Homo-oligomer: A and B are copies of this chain.
Amino acid sequence: MQLRMTNQREMILRELKKSKKHLSADELYERVKKFMPRISLATVYRNLEILSDASMIRKLEISGRQKRFDSELEDHDHIYCVQCHRIENLDIGDKEVNLTEVDTRGYAITGRRLEVTGVCPKCQKKNSKKNAKK
């Protein structure tokens, strides 16, 4: 199957790269729509799948309600706010995770990801206000 570089696909790729965040399909749709008002959300979904199959972008397996995509291909780690679902990159050294001695149950390993969960500074602030009211 040949991949064609359509205007839509190019734009989606460009906007995802431009944003340093981990966007969901509809966030990306909103951005791309500014330049291509007639683009369809289905096109965004389809391209995100196609581009990640082609390893041009990365589909994040982090949850939340929506799938998220990242233009950064390298394995890297995330910190995830359990309250507002914000996801940010986490910079840890290679030395912090060492899989060499772990029994991986016969899996052919494609990647590893360290995900740290917590409450982000903004939500902490929100919470302390709430508690003060009570």
Contact = CB atoms under 8 A, between A and B. Distances in A.
Contacts of A120: 105-107
Interface in A95-117: 95-99, 101-117
A74 interface: no
Contact of A108 (B67, B101, B118): B118
In the assembly, how many copies of this chain are there?
2
Interface string A63-87: 1100100000000000111100000
A26 interface: no
A24 to B, nearest CB: 12
A96 B60 CA distance: 23
A104 B117 contact: no
A37 interface: no
A49 to B, nearest CB: 13
Interface string A121-133: 1001000000000
Given A81-B107, A107-B118, 4 more contacts: A82-B110, A93-B101, A110-B117, A112-B117
The 6 closest A-B pairs by CB, nearest first: A107-B118, A63-B63, A106-B121, A109-B118, A108-B119, A61-B63
